[in-house]
Structure 1
């Protein structure tokens, strides 16, 4: 077979494959049973154990982030939840099996299985943990997922299990397991587990949750940091840190998904189970307020450090601007030493139409660069604690506490008209009213000088778009090559006999020198 024939077949196959993939994804998205189950006119029976629904004699389980899944082996007649409560919403049994979401938990005897609380169940011989929130299925690769999605679209396979309720079996034990501390922790007196994962060397008799401090002065038990008198844990991870009475965890508003642990004696800090380098300590978090923060900033004499969520490493943002002098946080994220003013502000950078998507998130420290003199004086708090009005010399400022989530980008604004001060402190204002004042520049941007920036750079969101464009460009090039070498079928015009072709065009060609 000629090379040109192979080339032609390759182009045809590639085109067909692209069409099949596009059509398959369209079909797959529109055939999800969730579309029918949630329609009130279809008489779906009431929720069984929270995530389960019965529809047309079949049991379906809701798996957030990827719709609903049919529980294939479930017996609708005997299907029931194990126990009430949010922590047990993902469990169910019938007369044959025990289920975690839409998947079977093997070995368990459904007649003997009971809830231990906090995500644990047992039949007296075998004990399992099953999370009450779905997570991405780490065992399913991208290639496998694509292949399964194609098969599912054409009814050749079941819906890909892209999300699951993670489950783990605990080690067999002669002593029964019990849940403890009102957390996802269970122990048999010797072995202790967090979310089904072993906490090495943990003593269940002395295990306690460490205190968690909030910026409003409230203190509660942590959900992720624990200690037993000797060892310290983040979830199931054993930290290289001895237990001590003054350990505590903290949360930063707006980035509460990051957990921080402070060891004051050593001046150490942890984010989740990752330690800040002890060589650069002692560390101190500059503020727990987070309305204008996207990174927790820790300062030491060696610099300013933060956790980069994208590289998953501790990074240095720059020198410590608070190293010299006595600095006080006079208002959330605003600091003064009596002469200079520093404040924290965040920003996001988004791409253009050619390169769309989130590019980076940054947290900055700025120095106020205005001509106002004198000491800061607090005038009043704006209604609903949306912000505060302060005065420096003869100039009034608005200190914002709403943040970018309310479309207020800057921490500090100058009040352009002093008559606005009385309105701000005596009238009822809503976030939209604040935004209007900013748009009209009655709350004006201040002059500032950037001191340092902590940045997390995100992966290029346009990779898929670029890849698609490259594929189409390759296809176009192949078609042009085929046309150039006359490998494509001739059109009706090209195949006309000479006598039927345009005589004027032919005459012009003959008269060309």
Structure 2
């Protein structure tokens, strides 16, 4: 529809577009404000955390430097308060009675983490329930009692597995205090019989019949035939009937030929049954159909885990799948013997064991990083042993050995990567170094490192004939988190815009219907105005204060309906002018009618 030569529908369209872009701009501003607020809160939280951490550090240093330590315990008195120095941090015992507070000193270092006052028994900074501090006594092997109740109190703290990252942050934000990540575990034993720690067992106790491990009952354990597999390990033991890992009876036959084996600084310790050739790792038992197993790499400083050989193949434990896996066929001929912990031989050849990792380069914004692809234990052949001649043990073989093949001399190492000797076999390329190795009795690791650094010993690589490989999948945790965050953020924004757009679309449809109705009603006046331009100019000179008739009132009502459609104030002013013009036309029309009647 046109009024005064202008298309009203185009004005309406422009107004709707302006309103749409205004809404988009509003949504963008809201999201921007939210992001800014979140960033400000994060920065504020970081500043407060930094300040609190620094304050806690300063207080801890004051406590350590100026506090009064209770004998050899973990407890410290400072400015009228009692603190526990453990878990790599310092915690206050808020309910401790300082006047009656004392450490539980029995002469056993394992009791240094226990204290009492007139009200409570403390394990670290934890109050133990149901124990009378006035009758509290040690039973041995980390067991304690007040004559009525019995507890196992551990001297090794563990991580609190129930704590999540969110709970740590929430505790810090709401209560503004640090969540305790570690604690000393304890266990109450439900028994009516008196317990006593079993001698030579760190965590075992008995009431004369039942046997407990760290407070947990070991079913059917025989107290009188109980033995430790290794005196330095507290988790493996056996009796006449069973072999146990902690409280679990293993499906292995009990015998006196049990050993615990590992590499020099291995993450895993295996139980080896020397009588039957069985192998187990904690509760996991290697497949018995391949027994007997022979173990390669015991105490080696050049491999990160052991290999297990049977007539059916070479096996290893994969910590990623948590299962035994097969590396390949048994390559050995006849009996396998150890020359050094990392050097072995069979009836025909000499081999050495060596661990290595494989990485791939990944390009990043700031360059390249190494991504771990696999961890490998290789068996490398040095050829037939008839070609090799042993010349000398260095420090009884604890450092290494000198060997000869043809007219060349080699150094076999037993120090390993923890002494910064990366390879197992080195060719001795310097005559002076060879003479020193052959003629000197006491040769330490510094000398070997110096020879390697100065390239007097050159690493020698054999032929890799078998490989135990643990493959790793690349972690995309950070990328996934970023992608989820961005997708969620922009997804919500797009959804809000889409919902807003749909709502505006419905409003536009309703307005379009109203516009069409008004257009029909205004069509007559639009045509009249456009066809009587000269009369309209004269009519504009007539005062506009003249009141119209009923038809004029109807037109005003229709014009009033148009006003909400036009959101822009300039358009509203234009519409008022058009209303004035229409009033003029109507007035002129009424005057003409009066003139006709007078005639």
TM range (shorter): 0.7 to 0.9
Question: Aligned with 1:10: secondary structure?
Answer: helix
- Aligned counterparts, 1:163-312, within 5 A: 163-210=182-229, 212=230, 220=231, 222-255=233-266, 257-312=267-322
**Gap change, CA 1:146 and 1:303, over 3 Å in 2:** farther
- Aligned counterparts, 1:311-390, within 5 A: 311-322=321-332, 324-337=333-346, 339-348=348-357, 355=369, 361-368=375-382, 374-382=387-395, 385-390=398-403
Q: Does 1:12 align with 2:40?
A: no
C-alpha displacement of 1:205: 2.7
Question: Aligned with 1:144: secondary structure?
Answer: helix
Picking from 434, 437, 447, the partner of 1:433 is: 447
- Mapped partners of 2:375, 2:319: distance in 1: 10
C-alpha displacement of 1:416: 1.3
User: Hey, what does 2:427 align to over in structure 1?
Assistant: 414
Q: CA RMSD of the aligned region, Å?
A: 3.3
User: Hey, what does 1:82 align to over in structure 2?
Assistant: 104
**Gap change, CA 1:263 and 1:424, over 3 Å in 2:** same
On the 8 A contact 2:141/2:197 being kept in 1, the answer is no
Which one has the bigger helix percentage? 2
User: Hey, what does 1:67 align to over in structure 2?
Assistant: 89
Greater radius of gyration (CA): 2
User: Hey, what does 2:542 align to over in structure 1?
Assistant: none
Aligned length: 462
User: Hey, what does 2:55 align to over in structure 1?
Assistant: 31
On the 8 A contact 2:201/2:234 being kept in 1, the answer is no
- Mapped partners of 1:291, 1:234: distance in 2: 26
- Mapped partners of 1:355, 1:319: distance in 2: 35
C-alpha displacement of 1:231: 1.7
**Gap change, CA 1:452 and 1:142, over 3 Å in 2:** farther
**Gap change, CA 1:54 and 1:204, over 3 Å in 2:** same
Picking from 130, 136, 142, the partner of 1:107 is: 130
C-alpha displacement of 1:418: 3.7
Gaps of 5+ in 2: 1-22, 362-366, 495-599
**Gap change, CA 1:443 and 1:42, over 3 Å in 2:** closer
User: Hey, what does 1:484 align to over in structure 2?
Assistant: none
C-alpha displacement of 1:98: 0.7
C-alpha displacement of 1:93: 0.9
Render the CA deviation track for 1:62-120: whole Å, top value 9, x for unaligned: 223x4121122112222212233221122111111111111111111111111122222
Question: Aligned with 2:314: secondary structure?
Answer: strand
On the 8 A contact 1:82/1:115 being kept in 2, the answer is no
Question: Aligned with 1:363: secondary structure?
Answer: strand
On the 8 A contact 1:358/1:461 being kept in 2, the answer is no
C-alpha displacement of 1:360: 5.5
Q: Compute the TM-score of the two structures, normalised by the length of structure 1.
A: 0.80
- Aligned counterparts, 1:44-59, within 5 A: 44-48=67-71, 50-59=73-82
C-alpha displacement of 1:27: 3.7
Name whichever of 273-282 and 14-23 sits farther off: 14-23
Q: Compute the TM-score of the two structures, normalised by the length of structure 2.
A: 0.69
- Mapped partners of 2:72, 2:455: distance in 1: 54
**Gap change, CA 1:327 and 1:284, over 3 Å in 2:** closer
**Gap change, CA 1:48 and 1:169, over 3 Å in 2:** farther
- Mapped partners of 1:198, 1:443: distance in 2: 57
Gaps of 5+ in 1: 213-219, 482-513
User: Hey, what does 2:527 align to over in structure 1?
Assistant: none
User: Hey, what does 1:400 align to over in structure 2?
Assistant: 413
User: Hey, what does 2:11 align to over in structure 1?
Assistant: none
